[in-house]
Structure 1
């Protein structure tokens, strides 16, 4: 499936997705894959990151996005609880959302929703000039 262009800051998008994927890997059982998919829905693109970890109860789904929050038995070396807060903040800065849903069969699915770029907002990517090694 070809996805439409989205109106995002590439650096913020990269960090948001990386934070969500890193979180999914931390909480997934050893050897369990983390699945990442993207699809177009109306004027939005959804990026879904699916893990098979312990999941999060409904009453804690919003709390996991608060700074310095780690839910349940965080794995050793799991960080200080900023990853999802930063990811959501970046998503919102780009006009999108980041939410948590239950994964059917167990686990957590993070849904990053981004708006499709209007034609006038799409700009070609201009490569950075090459730097000389010194």
Structure 2
């Protein structure tokens, strides 16, 4: 069903983008922007459902290449520049050079989803902290924000499909991002956990198994 949704959604998005080039009244421009925004949200939802389904049914060819994890995280960070500049969020970043062998396309979903969440829940002019480092038996990525944190009674559910922490944020997501992240991390033999910082905010910690033949 999700696959069949893609064609009409793409058609609506394409025609809506064509309307943006027309001479429109301010009200019409606003309507077109809203159609495009919601169509793109729907397209993202369908894409995430398909990807999660493929992951759960192991229908994705796990083509792996060696690449720089630190560079990929920087790319994800830059791709969200509009969002974090809008909220005037600052960053503290310490990324060690890490070469890793994985499915590069899938791993990008990890960094995009986690960073997007951190930006979404961070206060204006807050600070997001990122670490990537080699340890003796693993590669560890840590992402911290200064948001409201996670209530104890929902910590065990935030990686569930379609689960959203707070009803006030329903318009901003579809509850699939963290489920995707966990499934991708699991497929790589890693672990992910979420915890509240003792001085406020939330911390996500990903540990990936260190590869015997990786080049450091």
- TM-score norm. by structure 1 comes to 0.80
| Maintained 8 Å contact 2:144/2:201 | yes
Residue 129 of structure 1 corresponds to which residue in structure 2? none
Residue 173 of structure 2 corresponds to which residue in structure 1? 79
Deviation at 1:4, TM superposition (A): 4.8
Q: How many residues align?
A: 121
Per residue, is there more helix in 1 or in 2?
2
Change (3 A) 1:52 1:22: same
Residue 5 of structure 1 corresponds to which residue in structure 2? 99
- Structure 1 stretches (4+) deviating beyond 4 angstroms? 1-4
- Structure 1 unmatched runs, 5+: 124-134
> RMSD across aligned C-alpha pairs, in angstroms?
2.0
Deviation at 1:2, TM superposition (A): 4.5
- TM-score norm. by structure 2 comes to 0.51
Residue 212 of structure 2 corresponds to which residue in structure 1? 118
| Maintained 8 Å contact 2:164/2:170 | no
- Structure 2 unmatched runs, 5+: 1-94
Superposed, 1:1-134 pairs within 5 Å as 2-75=96-169, 77-119=171-213, 122=214
Q: Deviation digits for residues 69-90 of structure 1, max 9, x if unmatched?
A: 1112543632111110101111
